[in-house]
A and B are shown apart, each in its own frame.
Chain A
């Protein structure tokens, strides 16, 4: 009986300490913008099905997104993005694995907006590069909103732009991340 009580107490402690430690979403939003000053129109796509998980204890942060899930206003632009640029049939997924390097400065138990710096490895088009970006975490009512915006050099990820449209498409792409994370109950 004593052993059972002890086991129950240990299990409860483990459950309590792990509750709310990880936060996640499966409907994160990522905006992609490769509009250049010479572009005749905006070259923008949006993906609303990004998976993101944050471990508040360690500061580890991960993203996964399916490239085919980026929606563009024009059908032709979307086809070019998938077939010619990111080759999503060959490289269906983009991933980020990194950490919040100033995680200790965030009080996840207290509502507020915290400035963060995220650093890690970003894989797009089968190429992995180190990226670092400032961002904001807003803790509110037991949930976390994560926002960041940064630019990547398309050539770093071996995304080549055909000469014919080289001046119409920016050499860098701006990525705007916006996620509303909920506690993982497990």
Chain B
């Protein structure tokens, strides 16, 4: 009788644990990307200051900002929309080739549509790094960005 009870408990425990693991795996597998709009920025910085920081020390800046949530304020140099409707907002000084290029999250595309050249805006996004280029100008790339945060 006692043995039967133990087996029952063991079976129940296995079922509960197995079920919990199954639910966890299912949820993890189907986990959606976090909406940047709901994320608190790790750093709030002006576009030109951020560019200067990366230009002066790329390695240290990458260590500090890479994969961080940045809220970057700057002047809009350009707004582009590609053939599939994805927007990019380019921030920085028009006299310089270097920019902070923000790929706008597709669920926030409509907000980018109203942004015009010359506007001062804040863009919040995830820093994916720095592309140094003497000829084309260097860029800091923000992905999954949202406007006006």
The chain A residues found within 8 Å of chain B, CB to CB, are 22, 24, 26-27, 29, 48-49, 51, 53, 64, 66-69, 71, 74-76, 78, 89, 92-93, 184, 186
Query: Is A74 a contact partner of B139 (Cβ separation < 8 A)?
Result: no
B interface residues (Cβ-Cβ under 8 A, vs A):
28-34, 62, 66-67, 80, 82, 86, 88, 101, 103, 126, 128-131, 133, 135-136, 139, 141, 143-144
**Which residues does chain A contribute within 8 Å of B130, judged by CB atoms?**
66
| A22 contacts across to B, CB distance below 8 A | 135
Would you mind naming 12 contact pairs between A and B with Cβ atoms under 8 Å apart? A26-B136, A27-B88, A48-B88, A49-B103, A49-B141, A49-B143, A53-B135, A64-B133, A66-B131, A68-B143, A74-B29, A92-B128
Tell me which residues across on chain B come within 8 A of A71, comparing CB atoms.
143-144
Query: Shortest beta-carbon distance, B43 to chain A, in Å?
Result: 16
Q: How far is the CA of A137 from the CA of B29 in the complex (A)?
A: 39
Q: Is the CB of B143 within 8 A of A69?
A: yes
Q: Measured between C-beta atoms, what is the minimum distance from A91 to chain B in Å? A: 11
The answer, among A24, A27, A53, A66, for a CB contact under 8 Å with B128, is A66
Residue of B nearest to A72 (CB): B33
A76 to B30, CA, bound (A): 8
Q: A64 contacts which of B33, B67, B131 (Cβ < 8 Å)?
A: B131
